[in-house]
Chains A and B, each alone.
Chain A
Amino acid sequence: MTATLDRPDDTAAAPKRPPRWWLLLGRDKLAAVAAVVLGLVLLTALIGPLLLGDAATRQDLNASLRPPSFDHGITGLLGTDILGRSVLARLVEAAGTTLSVAIPAVLFSLVAGSAIGMWAGYHGGRRENIAMRVADVILSFPSLLLAVVVLYVFTPSVANIVFILALARIPIYLRTARAEAAELKSRLFVDAARTFGTTSWPTIYRHILPIAMPTLLTVATLDFCFVMLSESSLSFLGIGIQPPDVSWGLMVAQGRQFLQTAWWIAVLPGVAIVLTTVSATILAAWVRLATDPAQRWRLTLPTSKRGKRSVTTEVTA
């Protein structure tokens, strides 16, 4: 037999259900921080605008380009822009807009791309070929150009931006999901499921999705960043988010010209983007570990030990 060394003794002695996910999250400080950050961002986006009222749009030319300070109350905490609007209030306001574009766009492309990709990869043959060629066509078309054309023809509403960004990103998930499914379908446990008479969608749901999901989630978190930046490019071109609405990307774009004189206008929304994406990435890495029964125990170790190279493969001797 193989000595499975990569397992703490206690699970060997007494079988028990896996620890609850929040306990596992508590063990991983970094992932816990990331979860808290993401939670705060979401909360801000949801209730922040209610608390701040019209602070985001109130202009005060006397207060133009004021640097971050404690002297002007909460709204002045992070300085003001050229029109004297509170950067903090605008960040809070923008959080909602940004997330309401990025989250639906990422979710939509994730779901659609993964489903088509896994279906194509599982069946192979003609279905796979068609799906892949369509994906190639979408990918070969510069997504920004596509967006420009579509948004020029239709009105640049949030729904349209979401739709066009999602469409452009579907091939990314489609390809990843197809590759995973094509590899997994030749695994023995998929063959086993077929011998029970299991049909394609239940097999995909039961055996392919749970294994492909962590990879797809990782792709999605990286894509989250991409979508936020795309949205800012569109906004910059004037066909994205329309002022007086504001998004983080738009704020970066507008703040660029003041980078020498008023760094906070562009840098702070940039920090918000980075913080959100990094948190999402860390959390995705954690999910990857936490959903794998063979790896889950690692999360119960102190972080310092986890990085050390340990015997992951069975030591056969």
Chain B
Amino acid sequence: MSEPTPLLEVTGLRKSFRVARNKAGRNRLTALDGVDLRLGRGETLGLVGESGCGKSTLARVVLMLDRPDEGTMRFDGVDPFALKGRELLAWRRRVQMVFQDPFASLNARMTAADLIGEPWRTHRDLVPTPKQREARVRELLDLVGLRASDAHRYPNEFSGGQRQRIGIARALALEPDLIVCDEPVSALDLSVQAQVLNLLADLQQRLGVSYVFISHDLSVVRHVADRVSVMYLGKIIEHGLTEDVFDRPLHPYTAALMSAAPALEPDGTAGTGDRILLSGELPSPLDPPSGCRFRTRCWQAADRCAEEQPDPRGRGDGTLEPHEGRCHYPLSLTPMGA
């Protein structure tokens, strides 16, 4: 499907942080441990995982807010970390972010117009005159479903959903190719969440922008993403087309994650099916388990899992799209119940 150069390609990304020493004397927190990603133009990649799995660090690296320790990143064929000065600035324009918290990500002392126009203060050539800026702000407000009269209001005068719209308008101000959405709807109420998801989908259709969509909410990811990568303790443990991953998960963790999320059936009942209740909690990323990261919570872990890190293994059913999971004993090929 996307054999031409992907918009974003990330290989072997590693990133660790120094933290306070724990009891075992370890002080390196490995947030990313050899992460690969590919994202085509106009596509949405869902990134799923629990807190502490490294998905936010990955987002920060993609936005060059953090520098990886190892690994390469190619955006449109270019390594952005090698860029300097003007070229770097030009690259900044192409990748933008929508933040999780619509309260903390907007400076409360700036009006909506100032906030949306803030990127142009750095990229002056994009919208040079005040008149153009004003007109463009109005356009963007309109695009995200706010009124032109909202331009001079402050963030505290908006509701959570409206603030998130301002955040989206600000991300769009530089006309980026890629928007990293870090939990863009998790702070919003359900009825508002739907509005924002629709807006994002609509913008993708109209502007052809790609999304990296980070979320812990599987139902949201399933709805918006073309492909999904599932992260666990700094590794991508499964990736593939959304349908493949959701309908026939390879990795036990993926299956458990989907089973743990409460489901709502169309008839108003809760999703039935046997729930896989994981025992225990996420191991400390300071001291990850040997071999397979998931083995401490896996119900089918064997001796081999403690010794050997599993390599990605694909489903051999002859489809073109790779669907791979890092598990020595991938779940059977028979489709799962739900």
Chain A residues within CB distance 8 Å of chain B: 1-2, 4, 7, 11-12, 15-17, 187-189, 191-199, 202, 206-207, 210-211, 291-294
Query: Contact at B157–A191, with CB atoms within 8 Å?
Result: no
Q: Is the CB of A1 within 8 A of B109?
A: no
A195:B96 contact, CB within 8 angstroms: yes
- Contact partner of A189 (CB less than 8 A), chosen from B93, B107, B161, is B107
Bound together, the chains give a CA A292 to CA B99 distance in angstroms of 23
Once the chains are docked, how many angstroms separate the CA of A188 from the CA of B192?
22
Assuming the A-B contacts A291-B109, A293-B109, are A188 and B156 also in contact, with contact meaning beta carbons closer than 8 angstroms in the complex? no
Other CB < 8 Å A-B pairs besides A197-B93, A206-B107, 13 of them? Answer: A1-B159, A1-B188, A4-B156, A11-B153, A187-B104, A188-B104, A195-B97, A196-B92, A196-B118, A196-B119, A198-B122, A206-B118, A293-B108
- Is B36's beta carbon under 8 Å from chain A? no
- Chain A residues with CB below 8 A from B101, complex form: 188
**Known contacts A4-B156, A7-B157, A293-B156: A197-B99 contact under CB 8 Å:** no
Asked if A4 and B108 make an inter-chain contact with CB atoms under 8 angstroms apart, the answer reads no
Q: Are B65 and A189 in contact (CB under 8 A)?
A: no
**B161 near A1: Cβ-Cβ < 8 Å:** yes
17 residue pairs of the A-B complex, CB under 8 angstroms, read A1-B192, A7-B156, A11-B153, A15-B150, A187-B104, A188-B101, A191-B99, A192-B105, A195-B97, A197-B89, A197-B92, A197-B93, A197-B122, A206-B107, A206-B118, A292-B108, A293-B156
**A193 x B159 contact (CB < 8 A):** no
B74 at the interface (CB under 8 A from A): no
Smallest Cβ distance from A187 to chain B, in angstroms? Answer: 6
CA of A1 to CA of B118, assembled, Å: 26
Query: When A and B form their complex, which 7 residue pairs have the shortest distance between CB atoms, in order from nearest?
Result: A197-B92, A188-B105, A293-B154, A196-B119, A294-B156, A1-B159, A189-B107
**Given contacts A188-B99, A195-B96, A202 and B109 within 8 Å (CB-CB):** no
CB distance from A302 to the nearest CB of B (A): 22
User: Could you tell me which B residues sit within 8 Å of A by CB distance?
Assistant: 60, 63, 65, 88-89, 92-93, 95-97, 99, 101, 104-109, 118-119, 121-123, 149-150, 152-157, 159-161, 170, 174, 188-189, 192
Chain A proximity of B120: nearest CB distance (Å): 9
Distance (Å) between the CB of A67 and the closest chain B CB? Answer: 52
Residues of A within 8 A of B109 (CB): 210-211, 291-293
User: CB-CB < 8 A to A188: which residues of B?
Assistant: 99, 101, 104-105
Complex Cα distance A16/B95, Å?
A: 34
Residues in chain B near residue A1, CB distance under 8 A: 159-161, 188-189, 192
Known: A2-B159, A194-B65, A196-B92. A15 touches B122 (CB 8 A): no
A202 CB contacts on chain B under 8 angstroms? 121-122
Please indicate the chain B residues that have their CB under 8 angstroms from the CB of A192 in the complex: 97, 99, 105, 118, 170
List the A side residues contacting B189 at CB < 8 Å.
1
Q: Report chain B residues within 8 Å CB of A198.
A: 118, 121-122
- Name the residue of chain B whose CB is nearest to the CB of A199: B122
Q: Is the CB of A17 within 8 A of B152?
A: yes
Give the nearest-CB partner of A188 in chain B.
B105
User: A4 to B159, Cβ gap below 8 A?
Assistant: yes
Nearest-Cβ distance from residue B156 to partner chain A, whole angstroms: 4
Chain A residues closer than 8 Å to B63, beta-carbon distance: 195
Report the bound CA distance from A7 to B155 in whole Å: 12
Which of B65, B104, B107, B160 is within 8 Å of A2, CB to CB?
Answer: B160
Closest A-chain residue to B102, C-beta based? A188
Partner of B88, one of A197, A206, A291: A197
Tell me the nearest residue of chain B to A184, going by C-beta. B107
A197 CA to B92 CA in the complex, in Å? 6
Whole-angstrom distance between the Cβ of A16 and the nearest chain B Cβ? 8
In the bound complex, CA of A17 to CA of B170 (Å): 21
Residues of B within 8 A of A293 (CB): 108-109, 154-156
Alpha-carbon gap, A293 to B158, bound state (A): 12
A110, B188: Cα distance in complex, Å: 41
> What is the CA–CA distance of A81 and B220 in the complex, to the nearest angstrom?
82
Please give the distance in Å from B102's CB to the nearest CB on chain A.
9
Q: Could you say which residues of chain A place their CB within 8 Å of the CB of B192?
A: 1
Contact A15 B157 (CB under 8 A): yes
Chain B residue nearest to A18 (CB atoms) is: B154
A194–B160 CA distance with the chains assembled, in angstroms: 23
A19 to B95, CA, bound (A): 38
Q: Are A189 and B174 in contact (CB under 8 A)?
A: no
Cα distance, A128 to B311, chains bound together (Å) = 43
Assess the B105–A196 pair: CB atoms within 8 A.
no
State A22–B155 Cα separation when bound (angstroms): 24
Q: Is the CB of A15 within 8 A of B149?
A: yes
Give every chain B residue within 8 A of A2 (Cβ-Cβ): 159-160
- Minimum CB–CB distance from B166 to chain A (whole Å) comes to 11
A127 to B4, CA, bound (A): 45
Q: Which residue of A lies closest to B182 (CB)?
A: A188
Compute how far the CA of A211 lies from the CA of B108 in the bound complex, rounded to whole angstroms. 9
In the assembled complex, the CB of B137 is this many whole angstroms from the nearest CB of chain A, namely 14
Contact B122 A196 (CB under 8 A): yes
User: A15 CA to B111 CA in the complex, in Å?
Assistant: 11
Report the minimum CB–CB distance from A2 to chain B (whole Å).
6
Smallest CB separation, B132 vs chain A (Å): 18
Minimum distance in angstroms from A184 CB to a CB of chain B:
10
B81 to chain A, nearest CB (A): 14
- Chain A residues with Cβ below 8 Å from B97 are 191-192, 195
Instruction: Return the chain B residue nearest A189 by Cβ.
Output: B107
How far, in angstroms, from A187 to B229 measured CA to CA in the complex?
27
The smallest beta-carbon distance between A128 and chain B, in angstroms, is: 16
